Amino acid sequence: MQKVRSLALLRRTAAVAVAAVERTNAWTTVASVAAVCRTSSALSARAARTIGQRFFSTPPSDADAGLKQALKDRLKASMVAKDKFTTTVIKSVLADILNAEKSGNQDKFITVTAIIRRGIKRRQESAAAYRDGGRADLAEAEEAEIRVLEQLLPAQMSEAEIADAVRAVMEREGAKGPADLGRLMKALNAEIDAAVAPRKLVSEVAKRLLSGKP
């Protein structure tokens, strides 16, 4: 009986949290709900996957959908040209994509664009560490890999361009203050392709403009 009551409580808690997410678009709350479902023996793994997919998986953008194939095409070209350096870099990205797709957590829903950006950030951190340690040769190798990865990304929106887009959507949606952030981001996510503007940067610009800062 106690087990039945616990199961019912877990289900009610999940339902309340999911309803809250639908109202506020609070992604971190959903992550917690999915984690509870995955770790609880009372709820099935299928239920956890359903909740995770419902809130974390999104249709791939047109720009992002072609990136994986573009990577494969670039890999073939580099192999034909016997460009071992570029071949190694692209293979590492494809390996990261494969690992994300096989992941049992929310990484399986990450976009190809985000994976490439993650690889760039990782190499930037390594390059900085190498320079601090007096290994300029290793830093330059990391920076060369960064240049290869940057060529794989579609043309990126500048922060000024993102700000202009945010202002236009703010005016259209009537968003005037921080309380309107959830509604504004929902509209922005539908209009600004994540492949050309990182969601984190769009959110930071939106928060800044909603708070009245230039």
The pLDDT of residue 112 is 86
Q: By three-state DSSP, how is residue 96 classified?
A: helix
Question: What CA–CA distances, in Å, run from 17 to 24, 27, 43, 44?
Answer: 10, 11, 15, 18
Q: Mean pLDDT, to the nearest integer, of 131-156?
A: 92
The CA distance from 102 to 105, in Å, is 9
23-62 per-position pLDDT tens digit: 334 333 333 433 433 343 333 333 333 323 332 334 445 5
What pTM was estimated for this model as a whole? Answer: 0.57
Yes or no: say if 154 and 112 are a contact pair by the CB < 8 Å rule: no
The pLDDT of residue 61 is 52
The pLDDT of residue 63 is 53
Angle, to 10 degrees, between the axis of helix 159-173 and the axis of helix 199-210?
60
